Structure 1
Amino acid sequence: MSGFIGSRTKGLSGALLYSLGSLAAGMLYQAFGSWAQLYYVDVLKMPLTLYGTAMTAFGVWNAINDPLAGQWSDMTSTRWGRRIPFILFGSLPMCLAFIMIWAVPAAVQASPVRLFAYYLVTVFLFDGLYSMVILNWTALYPEMYPELSQRSSVSAIKQALGIVGMVIGMVLAPQFRAALGWTGMGIAFAIAGGGAIYASLAGSKEDPRFSQAQGLGIVQALRSTFINKSFVTFVGVNLLVQFTFVLVQAVLPFYCKYVIGLSDAQNTLVLAPMFVVALPMVWVWSAITTRTGPKRAVAASIFLFALGLAPFLFVRTLAQAMATTAFIGLGLSGLLVLVDVLIADVVDEDELNTGRRREGMYFGANAFIIRLGVSMQAIVFSTVMGAYGYDPSLAAQPATVARGLTILMTMVPIVSMVAALAVVSAYPIDVVRRRSVAEGIEAGEAWGVLFLLIDGEVVFCMAGVVSQGHARWTARNGTIFSGAAQREVRANDAQAQLYNRDVVAGRHACRPTRGAHSLRRGSPSKESRIA
């Protein structure tokens, strides 16, 4: 096999096609997150105790299925690649599972226990398939767009379409429901989302060489991921940012009602400026990221987001609230753009250190950690609101509730953002380190054939890609020798570039044979594909 899997459309058209996956992801999951609770509890009358039990179980499943899907993808080796098969064959079942959520049979609706079981099965199925499809679609991004300018601009397109998808799922879903009913809405969204996902494949490609890598086992993969300083600092920042997002989103309706005195309909007017500003600003942040580097850009966006929250100390009218959320959109757009850029850099650095592309595990582990932000938000919200006298059974809340809500909209998220800034300062991939990683990957990749000789006897013969001397090889003949002593490695017919680093996942050194020839990054030569 030569070239890339998939005939990706290039240029802006290709980036737009690939980014349609973000539209689908935002639309489907936002519709599920915004309206499933109303449908099952208020319309279908599922008892709250059963619904709470289902959501607790779902929360556990939702947390663990992302790293499991990522590890499965990283370990997959097919002639079609590691990621694209999951997207191609998983999208239709995902869309059918989405329809099932909204198409509850009458016999199921008649029994609370059957309704509980049906909801549990369908949301487990939908979320598991969603993780498998969307995680693999996301994991293509660092591989397809290795340059910072590419990553920042494509991330801007992704986030812009993601915002559109979120607005459709949150704001337009009631219009579809009114016209088509709950089931009709589910079918319409599934068709649109599935179409967008499949269209994204026209803008996707995958390097088949990475499918030939020997993946890490689950335990070693998790350990390597969570001892990686770059990832640990990145995910610490992302956890704090996601906690702030979720907290502000959850508190804002209460703030509008009990502090400003707005109606539920006016809440939409408060949110709208945030998205109106964030949508065009993603391209501004793309340019800033390319010019200053991701680390400085994310620090600036965190600072602006925190600064935008401060006026809620004084906001008392609809106009003031709308102006404040518009300002928040400035920092929000930067954070949306930069999350994918930062984790892509972490993946690149990991490749330099391990010789493996492990996007699946890193994106999955990140998703697992940031789920904690939802739990953190719930604990903080209930603690503060309880301390300031909030009681949902009261017809009128005490005046102290307004003070508690002001704290939740200002002091708590601002402290979280300050902590995020402190963690960002420890993030090791600055402009210099990023350039070094990129140069190391570019200089350290070669195709070739390796023979390991011990006392003149060939112990193993392998062909594939070697990155910085680490093993990323597909065995053609023989097995890997994992001894710890120093071994001499010789290139057959000067076809392999050897490095003074590991050749397999052990710690034995390899000395380059004099005259070894580099086969530069790209497709292997005809000879080097044959061991």
Structure 2
Amino acid sequence: MDADRAAPGTSSDAPREGTSPLRYGVGMFGTSLPINLVKGSMLYVYVELLGLDAVVYATVYAVYGVLDALDNPVFGYLSDRTRSRWGRRRPYLVTGALVLAATTIALFSVPGPVADSAVGLAVWFAVFAITTEMADSLINASYGALLPELFSHERRRATANAVRQGAQLIALVIALALTPVLARNVLGTEGSTVGYGRLAVIFGVVSAVVILWMAFGVREDPALDAEPRPVFFRSVGQILSTSHFWTVGLVNACYGAAMALVLGGLQLYVHHTLGGSALDASILQLVVIVVSIGMLSVWAAVVRRKGAAWTWRLALPVAAVGFVPMYFATDLTTAILGGLSVAVGYSGLLATNDLVIARVLDADAARHGTHRSGLFLAAFGVLGRLNGLVTAGALASLALWFGYRSGTDPGPDPGQAFRVYLSLYPFALLVLGTAVSRFIRLPPAPQEAVAPYGPAVRPGEPGLEPGSEPGSEPGSERGVERGVEPGAGPDSGAGTAPVTR
């Protein structure tokens, strides 16, 4: 098979080359900026500064996690079925960008009378935390679906994904690493929420502008409009019967939950465990993110040589082990050394997750004759977004085991509480993900497909699992990752494979 030809069952890349990988990828800066302010500072602002009880926070966050998981399939389904002069995905990107900006600003701008009322504060938190996450889901159901649809060849797709991840890491530098200093020393003062509110306004406006610029530069493939519209319950049934949904989805959920704990707890870890300042929190996060950016090119080179699946299986345990030094850190210097090890594994997962999930979406489109990337990604999101339950449980456990309830009632040993929260919990989640990953095989990369696994296996008929085409060796990645032409696409080593994100 020609290495430059799309896999059978997918549409040609020609109509979509008008979309720049750079313009598409930069959109992730806009999607990441406000939501990482939320993930990185919401716990600190509401529990530590405003005094919301940690158990109340955990309860709301659990409800928020369930609702967020349920709305994902709905948004993905609507996006897949939409046919308009603006395309399928653009209307939701535009709407979501405006709503996300407004709700992020409201979330961090709590009026004085509301902040003084325990009930009022809990209600305000619940309403705007949930609506902010819903807006984020609305955007990402469409934005994520565009990656496999706009760029059907894995090499071009990898370029777009590299831009995406680079844009995301820059957003992380600003929304995570710089936020403590900006909010507590530049735009506001220590112990006040004013700086966080001002940052929310800046981030919300910038985010909306970037997402809108990206959305109006996307050129969707009009040929996809001729495909049959997916039927909700039939599509959900087919997705749930796909083994990759459960295996890749579970690993993705473990990774997402681990990083959610880190994002939400790092400022508290620095404050209580290390006894550090806002500047210390910024320095630690900046080091981790900058090293992640630097390692991204290294991991990308490994992907080109060994394949995304092999690389992902390596990155997972590296990321898990990276959290061990964080448990033993006692000051900023030792925490930075631990953060370096976390950054190495985190960068590897960033370099591979989207590529692997995109392969699963390709196989689904080829098998069933319609692109329903939005719904499939949303189904993955159901598992991933349930990390809200993990976060809620982890936070509630601190109240149970360590007596930590809020900044005004921290319990006898908040330092140990957040030492466990930021190191042992993420380590355990990534170990679970590593174990599951060993049992997953992936469909081949798009330009490497060696058999028409779409048309050859009609929906509802028995046939070969993707990745088990004639010529592949059961249990070996050679048949899964390579095509029949040597050198066509990423090479892969021995073993079996998967990935996340």
For this structure pair, what is the TM-score category when the shorter chain's length is used for normalisation?
Answer: 0.7 to 0.9
- Contact 2:276–2:332 (CA under 8 A) maintained in structure 1: yes
> Structure 1 residues 307 and 128, CA, compared in 2 at 3 Å: closer, same or farther?
closer
1:324 maps onto 2:324 in alignment: no
1:416 maps onto 2:429 in alignment: yes
Deviations, residues 291-330 of structure 1 (Å, cap 9, x unaligned): 2111101011112212323334644443222122112211
Structure 2 counterpart SS, 1:423: helix
CA–CA distance in 2 between the matches of 1:370 and 1:140? 19
Q: Name 1:147's counterpart in structure 2.
A: 153
When the two structures are superposed, what TM-score results if normalisation uses the length of structure 2?
A: 0.74
Q: Name 2:228's counterpart in structure 1.
A: 214
Residue 388 (structure 1) shift: 6.5
- Contact 1:301–1:332 (CA under 8 A) maintained in structure 2: yes
- Letter of the structure 2 residue corresponding to residue 268 of structure 1: S
Between structure 1 and structure 2, the one with the greater Rg is 1
> Structure 1 residues 21 and 229, CA, compared in 2 at 3 Å: closer, same or farther?
same
RMSD: 4.0
1:63 maps onto 2:69 in alignment: yes
CA–CA distance in 1 between the matches of 2:55 and 2:420? 30
Deviations, residues 83-110 of structure 1 (Å, cap 9, x unaligned): 1222234433443444444566788779
Structure 2 counterpart SS, 1:70: helix
CA–CA distance in 1 between the matches of 2:196 and 2:401? 39
Out of 255-264 and 237-246, give the one that drifted further. Answer: 255-264
- Letter of the structure 2 residue corresponding to residue 220 of structure 1: R
- Contact 1:295–1:424 (CA under 8 A) maintained in structure 2: no
Residue 250 (structure 1) shift: 5.2
Structure 2 residue aligned with 1:137, among 121, 133, 143? Answer: 143
Structure with higher RCO (Cα < 8 A, 6+ apart): 2
Residue 418 (structure 1) shift: 3.1
- Contact 1:278–1:333 (CA under 8 A) maintained in structure 2: yes
Structure 2 residue aligned with 1:434, among 429, 438, 445? Answer: 445
- Contact 1:244–1:417 (CA under 8 A) maintained in structure 2: yes
CA–CA distance in 2 between the matches of 1:40 and 1:279? 30
Q: Name 2:166's counterpart in structure 1.
A: 160
Deviations, residues 442-474 of structure 1 (Å, cap 9, x unaligned): xx9xxxxxxxxxxxxxxxxxxxxxxx44xxxxx
> Structure 1 residues 288 and 150, CA, compared in 2 at 3 Å: closer, same or farther?
farther
Structure 1 gaps of 5+ residues are 445-467, 470-499, 509-531
- List aligned pairs for 1:99-498, cutoff 5 A: 99-101=105-107, 120-170=126-176, 171-172=178-179, 174=183, 177-178=187-188, 185-249=199-263, 252=266, 256=270, 260-263=274-277, 265-312=279-326, 314-380=328-394, 382-383=396-397, 386-387=400-401, 397=412, 402=416, 412-429=425-442, 433-434=444-445, 438=449, 468-469=454-455
CA–CA distance in 2 between the matches of 1:46 and 1:145? 45
Q: Name 1:459's counterpart in structure 2.
A: none
- Contact 1:247–1:413 (CA under 8 A) maintained in structure 2: yes
> Structure 1 residues 129 and 440, CA, compared in 2 at 3 Å: closer, same or farther?
farther
Question: Whose strand proportion is higher, 1 or 2?
Answer: 1
When the two structures are superposed, what TM-score results if normalisation uses the length of structure 1?
A: 0.70
Residue 440 (structure 1) shift: 5.0
Deviations, residues 221-260 of structure 1 (Å, cap 9, x unaligned): 2221122112221111112222322344456556555655
Q: Name 1:513's counterpart in structure 2.
A: none
Identity %: 23
- Contact 2:18–2:219 (CA under 8 A) maintained in structure 1: no
> Structure 1 residues 177 and 50, CA, compared in 2 at 3 Å: closer, same or farther?
farther
> Structure 1 residues 190 and 415, CA, compared in 2 at 3 Å: closer, same or farther?
closer
CA–CA distance in 1 between the matches of 2:379 and 2:154? 23
**How many pairs does the alignment contain?**
443
CA–CA distance in 2 between the matches of 1:116 and 1:141? 38
CA–CA distance in 2 between the matches of 1:66 and 1:111? 32
Deviations, residues 477-511 of structure 1 (Å, cap 9, x unaligned): xxxxxxxxxxxxxxxxxxxxxxx765xx7779xxx
Deviations, residues 152-181 of structure 1 (Å, cap 9, x unaligned): 232222112112213322334517744996
Structure 2 gaps of 5+ residues are 1-10, 463-501
